[in-house]
Chain A
Amino acid sequence: MLVDYEVVTRARSGDAAAFNELVSAYRKRVLGTVFRLIGRQEDVEDVGQEVFLRLYYSLDQLRTAEVFEPWLYRLTVNAAYDYLRKQRRQREARMADLTEEQVLAADAAVGGKQALEEDQKAHIRELVQSLLGRVSEEDRILLVLKEVQGLSLKELERIYRVKENALKVRLFRARQRVLKAFEGIQKQELKIKTLATGGKHVGRRAV
Protein backbone atom coordinates (compact mmCIF):
# COMPACT_ATOMS: atom_id res chain seq x y z
CA MET A 1 0.00 0.00 0.00
CA LEU A 2 1.27 3.45 -0.91
CA VAL A 3 -0.91 5.08 1.77
CA ASP A 4 -2.27 4.12 5.19
CA TYR A 5 -5.62 2.37 5.36
CA GLU A 6 -6.80 5.30 7.42
CA VAL A 7 -6.44 7.62 4.39
CA VAL A 8 -8.68 5.32 2.35
CA THR A 9 -11.21 5.24 5.18
CA ARG A 10 -11.21 9.03 5.40
CA ALA A 11 -11.58 9.37 1.61
CA ARG A 12 -14.50 6.95 1.78
CA SER A 13 -16.24 9.19 4.25
CA GLY A 14 -15.95 12.12 1.84
CA ASP A 15 -12.74 13.80 3.02
CA ALA A 16 -11.47 15.71 -0.04
CA ALA A 17 -7.95 16.11 1.39
CA ALA A 18 -7.69 12.35 1.89
CA PHE A 19 -8.91 11.77 -1.65
CA ASN A 20 -6.24 14.18 -2.94
CA GLU A 21 -3.69 12.21 -0.97
CA LEU A 22 -4.86 9.02 -2.68
CA VAL A 23 -4.62 10.66 -6.09
CA SER A 24 -1.11 11.94 -5.39
CA ALA A 25 0.05 8.56 -4.15
CA TYR A 26 -1.41 6.46 -6.93
CA ARG A 27 -1.59 8.67 -10.02
CA LYS A 28 1.88 7.71 -11.32
CA ARG A 29 1.16 4.02 -10.96
CA VAL A 30 -2.28 4.37 -12.52
CA LEU A 31 -0.97 6.42 -15.44
CA GLY A 32 1.85 3.93 -15.98
CA THR A 33 -0.60 1.05 -16.11
CA VAL A 34 -2.93 2.99 -18.39
CA PHE A 35 -0.03 3.84 -20.71
CA ARG A 36 0.92 0.19 -21.04
CA LEU A 37 -2.65 -0.87 -21.55
CA ILE A 38 -3.65 1.70 -24.15
CA GLY A 39 -0.25 2.63 -25.60
CA ARG A 40 -1.20 6.23 -26.45
CA GLN A 41 0.64 8.86 -24.46
CA GLU A 42 -1.75 11.65 -25.49
CA ASP A 43 -4.76 9.92 -23.94
CA VAL A 44 -3.12 8.61 -20.79
CA GLU A 45 -4.11 11.52 -18.54
CA ASP A 46 -7.66 11.52 -19.81
CA VAL A 47 -8.11 7.81 -19.03
CA GLY A 48 -6.24 8.26 -15.73
CA GLN A 49 -8.65 11.00 -14.68
CA GLU A 50 -11.54 8.76 -15.65
CA VAL A 51 -10.13 6.10 -13.29
CA PHE A 52 -10.00 8.52 -10.36
CA LEU A 53 -13.40 9.94 -11.23
CA ARG A 54 -14.87 6.44 -11.04
CA LEU A 55 -12.93 5.87 -7.84
CA TYR A 56 -14.42 9.00 -6.30
CA TYR A 57 -17.99 7.96 -7.06
CA SER A 58 -17.53 4.33 -6.11
CA LEU A 59 -15.50 4.64 -2.92
CA ASP A 60 -18.61 4.07 -0.82
CA GLN A 61 -18.93 0.61 -2.39
CA LEU A 62 -15.49 -0.39 -1.16
CA ARG A 63 -16.01 -2.91 1.63
CA THR A 64 -12.68 -2.52 3.40
CA ALA A 65 -9.58 -0.41 2.93
CA GLU A 66 -7.51 -3.61 2.56
CA VAL A 67 -8.97 -4.31 -0.89
CA PHE A 68 -8.30 -0.79 -2.13
CA GLU A 69 -5.42 -1.61 -4.47
CA PRO A 70 -7.10 -4.47 -6.37
CA TRP A 71 -10.19 -2.25 -6.52
CA LEU A 72 -8.18 0.57 -8.08
CA TYR A 73 -6.59 -1.87 -10.53
CA ARG A 74 -10.03 -3.07 -11.44
CA LEU A 75 -11.21 0.47 -12.11
CA THR A 76 -8.07 1.09 -14.19
CA VAL A 77 -8.68 -2.05 -16.23
CA ASN A 78 -12.32 -1.14 -16.79
CA ALA A 79 -11.54 2.42 -17.87
CA ALA A 80 -8.81 1.18 -20.23
CA TYR A 81 -11.18 -1.46 -21.56
CA ASP A 82 -13.85 1.13 -22.33
CA TYR A 83 -11.28 3.36 -24.01
CA LEU A 84 -9.91 0.49 -26.12
CA ARG A 85 -13.38 -0.55 -27.24
CA LYS A 86 -14.06 2.98 -28.41
CA GLN A 87 -10.66 3.24 -30.06
CA ARG A 88 -11.07 -0.07 -31.87
CA ARG A 89 -14.15 1.19 -33.64
CA GLN A 90 -12.39 4.41 -34.67
CA ARG A 91 -9.18 2.60 -35.65
CA GLU A 92 -11.04 0.15 -37.87
CA ALA A 93 -12.46 3.10 -39.75
CA ARG A 94 -9.02 4.75 -40.05
CA MET A 95 -7.11 1.60 -41.07
CA ALA A 96 -9.57 0.95 -43.86
CA ASP A 97 -8.41 4.22 -45.46
CA LEU A 98 -4.66 3.47 -45.33
CA THR A 99 -3.00 2.40 -48.58
CA GLU A 100 0.00 0.08 -48.71
CA GLU A 101 2.20 3.03 -49.74
CA GLN A 102 1.19 4.87 -46.60
CA VAL A 103 2.02 1.84 -44.49
CA LEU A 104 5.40 1.60 -46.24
CA ALA A 105 6.06 5.30 -45.77
CA ALA A 106 5.22 5.10 -42.09
CA ASP A 107 7.49 2.11 -41.66
CA ALA A 108 10.32 3.80 -43.58
CA ALA A 109 9.96 6.93 -41.49
CA VAL A 110 10.34 4.89 -38.34
CA GLY A 111 13.11 2.74 -39.86
CA GLY A 112 15.21 5.76 -40.84
CA LYS A 113 15.50 7.02 -37.28
CA GLN A 114 16.04 3.75 -35.51
CA ALA A 115 19.50 4.68 -34.37
CA LEU A 116 17.92 6.94 -31.81
CA GLU A 117 16.83 5.24 -28.65
CA GLU A 118 13.57 7.12 -28.31
CA ASP A 119 12.55 6.21 -31.83
CA GLN A 120 13.35 2.59 -31.15
CA LYS A 121 11.10 2.74 -28.14
CA ALA A 122 8.39 4.36 -30.22
CA HIS A 123 8.74 1.60 -32.77
CA ILE A 124 8.48 -1.08 -30.08
CA ARG A 125 5.36 0.60 -28.71
CA GLU A 126 3.88 0.69 -32.18
CA LEU A 127 4.76 -2.94 -32.78
CA VAL A 128 3.25 -4.08 -29.49
CA GLN A 129 0.17 -1.93 -30.04
CA SER A 130 -0.21 -3.42 -33.48
CA LEU A 131 0.15 -6.89 -31.98
CA LEU A 132 -2.28 -6.21 -29.18
CA GLY A 133 -4.69 -4.66 -31.64
CA ARG A 134 -5.08 -8.08 -33.21
CA VAL A 135 -6.42 -9.75 -30.08
CA SER A 136 -9.48 -8.96 -28.01
CA GLU A 137 -9.46 -6.22 -25.38
CA GLU A 138 -9.83 -8.90 -22.69
CA ASP A 139 -6.71 -10.77 -23.88
CA ARG A 140 -4.82 -7.54 -24.30
CA ILE A 141 -5.47 -6.34 -20.77
CA LEU A 142 -4.77 -9.71 -19.18
CA LEU A 143 -1.48 -10.11 -21.05
CA VAL A 144 -0.27 -6.60 -20.31
CA LEU A 145 -1.04 -6.98 -16.62
CA LYS A 146 0.74 -10.34 -16.46
CA GLU A 147 3.60 -10.00 -18.93
CA VAL A 148 4.37 -6.28 -18.85
CA GLN A 149 3.18 -5.09 -15.45
CA GLY A 150 4.45 -8.34 -13.96
CA LEU A 151 1.46 -8.96 -11.70
CA SER A 152 1.37 -12.33 -10.00
CA LEU A 153 -1.47 -14.82 -10.39
CA LYS A 154 -2.55 -14.03 -6.83
CA GLU A 155 -2.83 -10.34 -7.64
CA LEU A 156 -4.71 -11.08 -10.85
CA GLU A 157 -7.06 -13.34 -8.90
CA ARG A 158 -8.00 -10.42 -6.68
CA ILE A 159 -8.48 -8.07 -9.62
CA TYR A 160 -10.48 -10.44 -11.79
CA ARG A 161 -12.20 -12.20 -8.90
CA VAL A 162 -11.74 -15.61 -10.48
CA LYS A 163 -9.98 -18.76 -9.32
CA GLU A 164 -6.33 -19.33 -10.19
CA ASN A 165 -7.08 -22.30 -12.45
CA ALA A 166 -9.59 -20.34 -14.50
CA LEU A 167 -7.04 -17.55 -14.77
CA LYS A 168 -4.36 -19.96 -15.96
CA VAL A 169 -6.67 -21.25 -18.67
CA ARG A 170 -7.50 -17.71 -19.77
CA LEU A 171 -3.82 -16.78 -19.81
CA PHE A 172 -2.88 -19.87 -21.80
CA ARG A 173 -5.52 -19.13 -24.42
CA ALA A 174 -4.59 -15.46 -24.56
CA ARG A 175 -0.93 -16.39 -25.06
CA GLN A 176 -1.84 -18.78 -27.87
CA ARG A 177 -3.85 -16.09 -29.60
CA VAL A 178 -1.17 -13.46 -29.24
CA LEU A 179 1.47 -15.89 -30.50
CA LYS A 180 -0.63 -16.43 -33.58
CA ALA A 181 -0.96 -12.68 -34.02
CA PHE A 182 2.81 -12.32 -33.52
CA GLU A 183 3.38 -14.80 -36.33
CA GLY A 184 1.09 -12.70 -38.54
CA ILE A 185 2.98 -9.53 -37.70
CA GLN A 186 6.35 -11.14 -38.40
CA LYS A 187 5.10 -12.25 -41.81
CA GLN A 188 3.70 -8.81 -42.53
CA GLU A 189 6.91 -7.08 -41.51
CA LEU A 190 8.89 -9.41 -43.75
CA LYS A 191 6.52 -8.68 -46.63
CA ILE A 192 6.83 -4.92 -46.13
CA LYS A 193 10.63 -5.18 -45.95
CA THR A 194 10.70 -7.27 -49.10
CA LEU A 195 8.53 -4.70 -50.89
CA ALA A 196 10.69 -1.83 -49.62
CA THR A 197 13.95 -3.45 -50.77
CA GLY A 198 12.55 -4.45 -54.15
CA GLY A 199 12.28 -8.14 -53.46
CA LYS A 200 15.67 -8.72 -51.81
CA HIS A 201 15.46 -10.99 -48.80
CA VAL A 202 15.77 -9.25 -45.48
CA GLY A 203 16.20 -11.05 -42.18
CA ARG A 204 13.69 -10.79 -39.41
CA ARG A 205 13.92 -7.62 -37.38
CA ALA A 206 15.47 -8.31 -34.04
CA VAL A 207 13.43 -7.10 -31.11
Chain B
Amino acid sequence: MLDEERSDGLERLWEAYRLATPEPAVSVNFTPQLWARIEAARPTSWTAPLTRLASRLVPLAAALTLAMSAYLWIPQSRANANTQTGYVDVLASDLLEQQHPALWVANAEDSI
Protein backbone atom coordinates (compact mmCIF):
# COMPACT_ATOMS: atom_id res chain seq x y z
CA MET B 1 0.00 0.00 0.00
CA LEU B 2 2.77 2.39 1.09
CA ASP B 3 4.87 1.29 -1.86
CA GLU B 4 1.99 2.03 -4.22
CA GLU B 5 1.58 5.50 -2.72
CA ARG B 6 5.28 6.11 -3.06
CA SER B 7 5.26 4.81 -6.62
CA ASP B 8 2.39 7.16 -7.49
CA GLY B 9 4.22 10.04 -5.82
CA LEU B 10 7.27 9.26 -7.88
CA GLU B 11 5.21 9.18 -11.09
CA ARG B 12 3.85 12.62 -10.26
CA LEU B 13 7.34 13.82 -9.50
CA TRP B 14 8.61 12.67 -12.93
CA GLU B 15 5.71 14.45 -14.57
CA ALA B 16 6.41 17.63 -12.61
CA TYR B 17 10.08 17.38 -13.49
CA ARG B 18 9.22 17.05 -17.18
CA LEU B 19 7.23 20.28 -16.96
CA ALA B 20 9.94 21.99 -14.92
CA THR B 21 12.63 21.20 -17.50
CA PRO B 22 11.47 22.54 -20.84
CA GLU B 23 13.85 22.57 -23.80
CA PRO B 24 16.22 25.44 -22.98
CA ALA B 25 16.70 28.38 -25.29
CA VAL B 26 19.86 28.10 -27.38
CA SER B 27 22.27 31.03 -27.23
CA VAL B 28 23.39 32.66 -30.47
CA ASN B 29 26.97 31.69 -29.68
CA PHE B 30 26.22 28.00 -29.53
CA THR B 31 27.27 27.10 -33.06
CA PRO B 32 30.30 29.46 -33.32
CA GLN B 33 31.59 28.16 -29.97
CA LEU B 34 31.01 24.61 -31.13
CA TRP B 35 33.09 25.21 -34.26
CA ALA B 36 35.81 26.79 -32.15
CA ARG B 37 35.90 23.63 -30.04
CA ILE B 38 35.93 21.45 -33.14
CA GLU B 39 38.87 23.39 -34.53
CA ALA B 40 40.68 23.26 -31.20
CA ALA B 41 40.23 19.50 -31.04
CA ARG B 42 41.37 18.97 -34.61
CA PRO B 43 44.87 17.56 -34.82
CA THR B 44 47.16 20.31 -36.14
CA SER B 45 48.93 19.79 -39.44
CA TRP B 46 52.44 19.28 -38.06
CA THR B 47 51.41 16.94 -35.26
CA ALA B 48 49.25 14.73 -37.45
CA PRO B 49 52.16 12.98 -39.26
CA LEU B 50 53.92 12.55 -35.93
CA THR B 51 50.83 10.99 -34.41
CA ARG B 52 50.50 8.62 -37.37
CA LEU B 53 54.19 7.76 -37.17
CA ALA B 54 53.99 7.16 -33.43
CA SER B 55 50.97 4.91 -33.82
CA ARG B 56 52.88 2.85 -36.41
CA LEU B 57 56.05 2.75 -34.32
CA VAL B 58 54.36 1.35 -31.25
CA PRO B 59 53.59 -2.14 -32.69
CA LEU B 60 56.96 -2.13 -34.46
CA ALA B 61 58.77 -1.41 -31.21
CA ALA B 62 56.77 -4.09 -29.43
CA ALA B 63 57.61 -6.66 -32.12
CA LEU B 64 61.28 -5.68 -32.01
CA THR B 65 61.36 -6.01 -28.24
CA LEU B 66 59.81 -9.47 -28.46
CA ALA B 67 62.26 -10.56 -31.14
CA MET B 68 65.25 -9.28 -29.20
CA SER B 69 64.03 -10.92 -26.00
CA ALA B 70 63.64 -14.21 -27.84
CA TYR B 71 67.07 -13.82 -29.41
CA LEU B 72 68.71 -13.07 -26.09
CA TRP B 73 66.92 -15.85 -24.27
CA ILE B 74 67.36 -18.68 -26.76
CA PRO B 75 71.17 -18.51 -27.38
CA GLN B 76 71.73 -18.03 -23.67
CA SER B 77 69.79 -21.14 -22.81
CA ARG B 78 71.64 -23.03 -25.52
CA ALA B 79 74.95 -21.70 -24.29
CA ASN B 80 74.02 -22.68 -20.78
CA ALA B 81 73.26 -26.18 -21.94
CA ASN B 82 76.55 -26.36 -23.89
CA THR B 83 78.55 -24.94 -21.00
CA GLN B 84 77.05 -27.38 -18.56
CA THR B 85 77.72 -30.35 -20.83
CA GLY B 86 81.20 -29.08 -21.59
CA TYR B 87 82.04 -28.55 -17.97
CA VAL B 88 80.79 -31.98 -16.96
CA ASP B 89 82.67 -33.51 -19.85
CA VAL B 90 85.85 -31.70 -18.89
CA LEU B 91 85.51 -32.81 -15.29
CA ALA B 92 84.83 -36.37 -16.34
CA SER B 93 87.78 -36.47 -18.70
CA ASP B 94 90.04 -34.91 -16.06
CA LEU B 95 88.94 -37.52 -13.58
CA LEU B 96 89.53 -40.27 -16.08
CA GLU B 97 92.97 -38.91 -16.85
CA GLN B 98 93.76 -38.78 -13.17
CA GLN B 99 92.29 -42.19 -12.45
CA HIS B 100 93.55 -44.12 -15.44
CA PRO B 101 97.25 -44.19 -14.52
CA ALA B 102 96.44 -45.15 -10.96
CA LEU B 103 94.09 -47.81 -12.07
CA TRP B 104 96.61 -48.96 -14.58
CA VAL B 105 99.34 -49.07 -11.89
CA ALA B 106 97.02 -50.83 -9.50
CA ASN B 107 96.04 -53.32 -12.12
CA ALA B 108 99.65 -53.86 -12.99
CA GLU B 109 100.53 -54.45 -9.35
CA ASP B 110 97.70 -56.92 -9.03
CA SER B 111 98.90 -58.80 -12.01
CA ILE B 112 102.43 -59.02 -10.66
> Residues on A close to B: CB < 8 A?
20, 23-24, 27-29, 31-32, 35-36, 39, 41, 44-45, 48-50, 52-53, 56-57, 120-122, 124-125, 127-128, 131, 147-148, 150, 178-179, 182-183, 186, 207
- Shortest 3 CB-CB contacts between residues of A and residues of B: A32-B23, A121-B20, A147-B14
On whether the beta carbons of B20 and A27 are closer than 8 Å, the reply is no
Which of B11, B16, B34 is in CB contact (< 8 Å) with A53? B34
Chain A residues with CB below 8 A from B37, complex form: 49-50, 53
- Interface contact B31-A45, CB-CB below 8 Å: no
Q: Is B13 an interface residue (CB 8 A)?
A: yes
Complex CA gap A128/B6 in Å reads: 14
Q: A53-B37, A57-B41 are in contact. Are A28 and B26 (CB under 8 A)?
A: yes
The closest CB in chain A to the CB of B37 belongs to: A53
19 A–B pairs (Cβ distance < 8 Å), ordered by A: A28-B23, A28-B26, A31-B23, A31-B24, A32-B23, A35-B24, A49-B30, A53-B38, A56-B38, A57-B38, A121-B19, A124-B17, A147-B11, A147-B14, A148-B14, A179-B10, A182-B10, A186-B9, A207-B13
Which residues from chain B sit less than 8 Å from chain A, CB to CB?
A: 3, 6-7, 9-14, 16-24, 26-27, 30-31, 33-34, 37-38, 41
A36 to B34, CA, bound (A): 21
Taking the nearest CB of chain B, how far is it from the CB of A62, in angstroms?
Answer: 17
> Which residues of chain A come closer than 8 Å to B3, judged between CB atoms?
179
A32 touches B13 (CB 8 A): no
Q: How far is the CB of B10 from chain A (nearest CB, A)?
A: 5
- Minimal beta-carbon separation of A53 from chain B (angstroms): 5
Contact B7 A35 (CB under 8 A): no
Q: Which residues of B contact A36 (CB under 8 A)?
A: 17-18, 21
List A contacts of B24 (CB < 8 A): 31-32, 35, 41, 44
Asked if B6 contacts A182 (CB within 8 A), the reply is yes
Closest chain B residue to A49, Cβ basis: B34
Q: Contact check, A148 vs B23: say whether CB atoms are below 8 A apart.
A: no
CB <8 Å contact, B13 and A27? no
In the complex the two chains form, what is the Cα distance from A20 to B31 in whole Å? 8
> How far is the CB of B27 from the nearest CB of chain A, in Å?
6
Could you tell me the distance between the alpha carbons of A180 and B12 in the complex, rounded to whole angstroms?
16
Q: Which residue of B has the minimal Cβ distance to A178?
A: B10
Contact B31 A23 (CB under 8 A): yes
Q: Are B41 and A53 in contact (CB under 8 A)?
A: yes
A28's nearest neighbour on chain B, judged by CB, is: B23
Chain B residue with Cβ nearest A120: B20
Which residues on the A side are within 8 Å of B16 (C-beta)?
A: 124, 207
Q: Residues of B contacting A179 with CB < 8 Å?
A: 3, 6-7, 10
Q: 6 other contacts beyond A57-B38, A124-B13, with CB at 8 A cut-off?
A: A32-B24, A45-B30, A53-B41, A124-B20, A125-B17, A179-B3
